[in-house]
Amino acid sequence: MKKFSQLAIPYIIWAALMLILPMALIAIYSITEPGNSIISFSVTLEHYAKFFTDPDFLLILWRSLLIAVKTTVICLLIGYPVAYFIARSSERAQNILVMCITIPMWINMLVRTYAWIGLLSEGGPIQQLLSLIGLGDVELLYTEGAVLLGMVYNFLPFMILQINTALCKMDHHLLEAAADLGAHPVQTFWKVTFPLSLPGVINGITLVFLPAVSSFFIPKLLGGGQYFLIGNMIENQFITVGEWNFGSAVSMIMAVIMMLLMMLVRKVEKRNSGGKEE
């Protein structure tokens, strides 16, 4: 036991330096205001009040939450049937299909998002394809639809892989038992398959929603700066405006929102698994 405790020391040090210390600094910045000298500062909640009293900032927060919800719902609607198909395939087909999903993830997400600029740009392949059916004048790039497409494309594999893992772990003898008891395929799916896959669904929702709500480079590239989300706002405060204190306050607000959402997801997961709430 003592040996395992010693092995954990490097990880504890790493976590303290890379996770706890940066969050502590952001928290301190969020409640302080620099004074006249380098070492002087005052404690204030003005930065939080500034965010919650400005309707423009609240609109950006609402827009970020809304597009994250849209991304999550679309990924779930597309990802579940795909994961179900993979799980019902032969073992060899499963390996091939999972590889097809994971290979694009080997490429940097930024590079993959840049590729969509060429595909959606005026005169690009997609617009040329739409021209063949008389829709060539539709604006594709620098729109909310382009941002949503980029998010779904980048985060969809996380949803598929999580649900597929849950479906593959399921005891298929339960499906045979349901069929023996007279349940038709639709009843079997809703009464057996879907409930058993809920842990994967919940994990997929978490892995899609959390990065989607805080994404900044996808809206920046595919939205062309015209579609401003909370991640872009935080980046702008730190890099462009130089308001580190206000940017830290917004970061802390988003951190609290994400932690509350994760607690809610955890609560739902425990309830579905039959565990008792603490």
Residues 277, 267: contact at Cβ < 8 Å?
yes
> What does pLDDT average to in each consecutive run of 10 residues of the chain (278 residues)?
67 80 89 71 88 92 93 96 92 91 89 89 82 76 90 95 91 79 83 88 91 89 83 89 90 90 80 56
CATH assignment of the domain containing 96 = 1.10.3720.10
Per the domain annotation, does 147 fall within a domain? Answer: no
Does any domain span residue 9? no
Confidence (pLDDT) at 10: 81
Q: Is residue 133 part of a domain?
A: no
Cβ contact 160:86 at 8 Å: yes
> For residue 212, what are the domain limits?
40-105+155-272
Give a yes or no: residue 164 inside a domain: yes
Pairing status of strand 32-34 against strand 41-43 = antiparallel
DSSP, residue by residue, 61-95? HHHHHHHHHHHHHHHHHHHHHHHHHHHHS-HHHHH
Q: Would 128 be classed as within a structural domain?
A: no
- Match 């927060």 to its residue by tokens: 61
Q: How many domains does the chain have?
A: 1
Supply the pLDDT for residue 277.
46
277 located within any domain: no
Output the pLDDT for position 259.
87
Residue 110 domain flag? no
Tell me how far apart the alpha carbons of residues 25 and 19 are, in angstroms, rounded to a whole number: 10
Domain contains 203: yes
CA atoms within 13 A on the CB side of 96: 6
Burial zone of 231 (CB within 10 Å; 0-12 exposed, 13-18 middle, 19+ buried): buried
